[in-house]
Amino acid sequence: MITRAKMAWAAGPALAMVLAIPNHAEAQSVGGVSLRIASTPSAAEVELIGGRAGTTPLIVSERDIYPNDYPDAREDMYGMVVLRHTGCEPLRHRVTQTDIKQGLQLRLDCDAAMVQSRTAAPAPEPHALAAPPPLEPSSAVPQRRLRQLQVLQELLDEGLISPAEEQRVRRRILQLNVEQPD
């Protein structure tokens, strides 16, 4: 017959392991894996399956990306990072093991967003378009125009805008290029 003392003794190693559990903070430091998220431009809002996580640059835990449970309605966000920044296209990225090892450096497409907003919205007044985006160095502007034209061509090639729209926006971009003191 097994006495209570024997049972208590036999449970000893298991209980010893229970007592050895590090607290949550310690566990994060010894067992937690994290992902570093950076973006260009920085200060992009980071959304994970659990909701808003902060702004870049940001470090999140692997379990923030791969939680053991989640609401069914958020299933499409499992393993995803979504970045949002004013004036940029939202960016969805599926996190890989390589990302976790190397860190995530994402570049948001702000130029395309600008072109698309111009094609979708009523054409703004020329003087409004002429206002340079804040914080953008003037030396970058010709490159930005070039990129805008490339994106415009891509939109046309993919049939997302009509040739007439493409011509109209192209004229505006080139007009701005002339008017603006690059």
Partner 1 sequence: MSSRIIVRMFSAIARAGAFAGGAVLLLALSAPPAWAMPEFARRYDLSCAACHSAFPRLNKFGEHFASSNMRMPNWKETADQLGDSRLALPDHVPIAVRAQAYVQARQAGAIDPITGARQEAATDFQSPYLIKILSSSPLSENISYYFYAILAEKGGNGETVVEDAWFRHANIFGSGIGMMLGQFQLSDLMFPREVRLPFQDFMAYRMAGITYDRGVLFDRGIGRVSLDLGFTNGNGIHQNFSINSPGFGRADKMFDNDSSKTVFGRVGSDIGPVAVGLFGASGKQRGATGPAGIASSQRNTDKRVVGLDASGQIGTDLHWYAQYLWNTWDGFLDADPARTYRWRGGFAGVDWIPNERWAFSALYNHDSAGDFAHSDTIYEGIAMNSLSLTSSYYFMRNVKGIIEVNFDFLGKAKPTGPYFTGHLNKENYILFGFDTAF
The verdict on 51 binding partner 1 (CB under 8 A) reads no
Q: Are strands 80-84 and 91-94 parallel, antiparallel or unpaired?
A: antiparallel
Q: Measured between alpha carbons, how far is 7 from 56 in angstroms, rounded to an integer?
A: 53
Other beta carbons within 10 Å of 46: 21
- Output the smallest distance, CB 53 to partner 1, in A: 17
Q: Using the minimum distance from each CB to partner 1, give the nearer residue, 97 or 139.
A: 97
Instruction: Specify which residues 106 forms β-bridges with.
Output: 39
Q: Using the minimum distance from each CB to partner 1, give the nearer residue, 95 or 112.
A: 95
Report CA-CA distances (Å) from 7 to 16, 31, 132. Answer: 14, 31, 77
Mark residues 91-130: x for contact with partner 1 by CB under 8 A, - for none: -----xxx-x------------------------------
- Segment near partner 1 (CB under 8 A); pick from 30-38, 39-47, 80-88, 168-176: 30-38
Mark residues 66-85: x for contact with partner 1 by CB under 8 A, - for none: xxxxx----x--xx------
* CB contact set of 45 (below 8 Å; sequence gap of 6+): 52, 54, 55, 83, 84, 85
- The answer to whether the CB of 151 falls within 8 A of the CB of 112 is yes
> Interface residues with partner 1 (CB under 8 A)?
1-2, 6-7, 9-14, 16-18, 20-22, 24, 27-28, 30-33, 62-63, 66-70, 75, 78-79, 96-98, 100
